[in-house]
């Protein structure tokens, strides 16, 4: 293969993990090149208010925060490139990355911050209200606050849904939990927390037919998949917690990952199983998935990459 360019550090992905890695790498004279990915800015571009990122007393919108992070990374000479990576070759010692026009670049160190994508039900009404900022969300911790004292529904029966339902129960008047089978997938401990919350009503064997509302969510039409009986829930917010998919398919021939695709890092570091390849953010995090934790691991990845380059005598 013909290599067009060589860099000390290539960062793949442009969410809070990628930009934080870029800020640290650039300040360490690693001249990082960032390849933004299909959704520049990552999942926060789908968020309205971000009220839980330290340092913004009045809150900030996701897109504005990502623009600020981009400016900060560029202030320290990060080269931000639009585009996405189609293939990698981590056979080493120099790592190779192919971008969408077919060109290959090489890098002494690679920081992966490709994130994860929330899964959605795929209903037209759900996606329309999500895109309009009309009360459909895949993150209760991010958006639950806006439904203080109101009635909401959450779909899913795993640990995330159970955890988010109990989180919402503390803020909201009533939480309907829509579960498609007659049992939870969540651990017993998480189920008990749901059962103990007096304002959570679990609706088993049920699926969402439609999220109701023109501009804002006003309800959800649900159907019992055993009796086929339909009913309507009056709600102001509709949360989806049916799992995430890490964006790691292009790494599967090279990097160790769990059965869902979350990359495995050496505990306490950002190091993957390949020397010089580091991971940060949601691509390796199925538990916390917050902008601040992604930023923290982005910093770790850049510091680990800097030490790696120093150990190889690359300056
Ligand atoms: P899971 O894949 O574990 O659960 C997804 C849930 O969504 C399942 O109950 C599934 O139903 C349901 N679901 C999937 N598709 C649909 C659909 N189209 N319509 C309705 N329901 C649907 O994902 P989680 O995000 O909950 O958890 C991911 C991993 O992270 C797990 O390993 C979990 O244990 C871990 N985790 C741990 C936490 C903790 O320990 N505190 C917190 C959060 C996550 P069904 O059961 O019928 O398949």
Contact call for residues 283 and 110 (beta carbons, < 8 A): no
Shared-domain flag, residues 145 and 129: yes
* 63 Cβ inside 6 Å of ligand 1: no
Residues 305, 25: contact at Cβ < 8 Å? Answer: yes
CA–CA separation, 70 and 229 (whole Å)? 50
Ligand 1 probe mutation, 118, 126, 158, most atoms within 8 A of CB: 158
Q: Is the CB of 185 under 6 A from ligand 1?
A: yes
Select which of 9, 46, 108, 139 is catalytic. 139
Please indicate whether residue 246, judged by its CB atom, sits closer than 6 Å to ligand 1.
Answer: no
For ligand 1, the distance from its centroid to the CA atom of residue 276, given in whole angstroms, is 32
Q: Residue 121 and residue 211: Cα distance in Å, rounded?
A: 11
Domain hosting 216: range is 120-240
**Domain shared by 229 and 262, yes or no:** no
Domain CATH number, residue 200: 3.50.50.60
Task: Count other Cβ atoms within 10 Å, centred on residue 132.
Answer: 13
Neighbours of 207 (CB within 10 A): 15
- Regarding whether 192 and 269 lie in a shared domain, the answer is no
User: If you take atom 23 of ligand 1, which residue's CA is the nearest one?
Assistant: 243
140 conformational bin, left if phi > 0, alpha if psi -120 to 50, beta if neither = alpha
φ, ψ (nearest 5 deg) of residue 101: -85, 5
Listed in sequence order, the residues at least 6 apart from 272 whose beta carbon sits closer than 8 Å to its beta carbon are 112, 255, 256, 263, 264, 265, 266, 278, 279
Same domain assignment for residues 71 and 127: no
Domain boundary among 212, 240, 268: 240
Residues 252 and 269 in one domain: yes
Does the annotation count 142 as an active-site position? yes
Q: Do 191 and 149 belong to one domain?
A: yes
Is residue 143 annotated as a catalytic residue, yes or no?
yes
Residue nearest atom 43 in ligand 1 by C-alpha distance: 160
Which residue, judged by its Cα, is nearest atom 17 of ligand 1?
121
The reply to whether ligand 1 has any atom less than 6 angstroms from the CB of 158 is: yes
Cα(154) to centroid(ligand 1), Å:
12
User: Same structural domain for residues 111 and 252?
Assistant: yes
Q: Is 9 among the catalytic positions?
A: no
Query: How far does the centroid of ligand 1 lie from the alpha carbon of residue 119, in Å?
Result: 10
Calculate how far, in angstroms, residue 35's C-alpha sits from the geometric centre of ligand 1.
30
Residue 240 near residue 153, CB atoms below 8 Å: no
In a shared domain, residues 173 and 32: no
What is the chain's pLDDT, residue by residue, as a tens digit (315 residues)? Answer: 899 999 999 999 999 999 999 999 999 999 999 999 988 998 888 666 788 899 999 999 888 999 999 999 999 989 999 999 999 999 989 999 999 999 999 999 999 999 999 999 999 999 999 999 999 999 898 899 999 999 999 999 999 899 999 999 999 999 999 999 999 999 999 999 999 999 999 999 999 999 999 999 999 999 999 999 999 999 999 999 999 999 999 999 999 999 999 999 999 999 999 999 999 999 999 889 899 999 999 999 999 999 999 999 998
Task: Examine the domain organization and report whether 219 and 304 are in the same domain.
Answer: no
Domain boundary among 206, 224, 240: 240
Q: Whose CA is nearest to atom 40 of ligand 1?
A: 159
CA of 295 to the centre of ligand 1 (A): 24
Ligand 1 pocket, residue 286 CB under 6 Å = yes
CA separation for the pair 231, 222 (Å, rounded): 5
User: Given this model, what pLDDT does residue 46 score?
Assistant: 67
Please indicate whether residue 161, judged by its CB atom, sits closer than 6 Å to ligand 1: yes
Residue finishing a domain among 209, 240, 271: 240
How many domains, in total, are found in the chain? 2
What is the number of other CB atoms lying within 10 angstroms of the CB of residue 165?
Answer: 29
CB of 287 shorter than 6 A to ligand 1: yes
Looking at the fold, whether 276 and 214 belong to one and the same domain comes out as: no
Catalytic residue among 46, 108, 142, 159: 142
Q: Are residues 112 and 10 part of one domain?
A: yes
Burial 242-276 (b: 16+ CB within 10 A, else e): bbbebbbebbeebbebeeebbbebeeeebbbebeb
67 and 154 both lie in a single domain: no
């Amino acid at each position: 293969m013909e290599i067009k360019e060589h860099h000390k550090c290539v960062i793949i992905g442009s969410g809070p993990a990628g930009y934080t890695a870029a800020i640290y790498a650039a300040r360490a004279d690693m001249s990082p090149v960032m390849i933004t990915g299909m959704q520049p800015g990552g999942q926060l571009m789908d968020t309205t208010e971000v009220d839980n990122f330290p340092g913004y007393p009045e809150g900030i919108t996701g897109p504005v925060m990502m623009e600020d992070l981009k400016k900060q990374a560029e202030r320290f000479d990060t080269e931000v490139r639009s585009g996405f990576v189609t293939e990698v070759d981590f056979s080493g010692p120099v790592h190779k990355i192919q971008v969408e026009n077919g060109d290959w670049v090489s890098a002494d160190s690679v920081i992966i911050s490709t994130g994860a994508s929330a899964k959605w039900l795929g209903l037209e009404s759900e996606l329309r209200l999500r895109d309009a900022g009309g009360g459909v969300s895949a993150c209760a911790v991010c958006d639950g606050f806006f439904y203080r004292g109101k009635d909401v529904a959450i779909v899913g029966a795993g640990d995330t849904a159970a955890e988010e339902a109990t989180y919402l129960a503390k803020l909201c008047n009533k939480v309907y939990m829509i579960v498609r089978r007659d049992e939870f997938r969540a651990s017993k401990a998480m189920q008990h927390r749901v059962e103990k919350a007096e304002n959570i009503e679990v609706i088993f064997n049920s699926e969402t037919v439609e999220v109701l509302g023109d501009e804002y969510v006003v309800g959800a039409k649900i159907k019992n998949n055993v009796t086929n009986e339909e009913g309507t829930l009056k709600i102001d917010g509709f949360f989806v917690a049916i799992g995430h998919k890490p964006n790691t398919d292009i790494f599967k021939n090279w990097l160790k990952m769990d059965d869902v695709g979350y990359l495995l890092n050496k505990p306490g570091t950002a190091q993957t199983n390949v020397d010089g390849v580091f991971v940060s953010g949601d691509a390796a995090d199925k538990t916390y998935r917050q902008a601040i934790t992604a930023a923290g691991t982005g910093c770790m990845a850049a510091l680990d990459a800097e030490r790696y380059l120093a150990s190889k005598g690359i300056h």
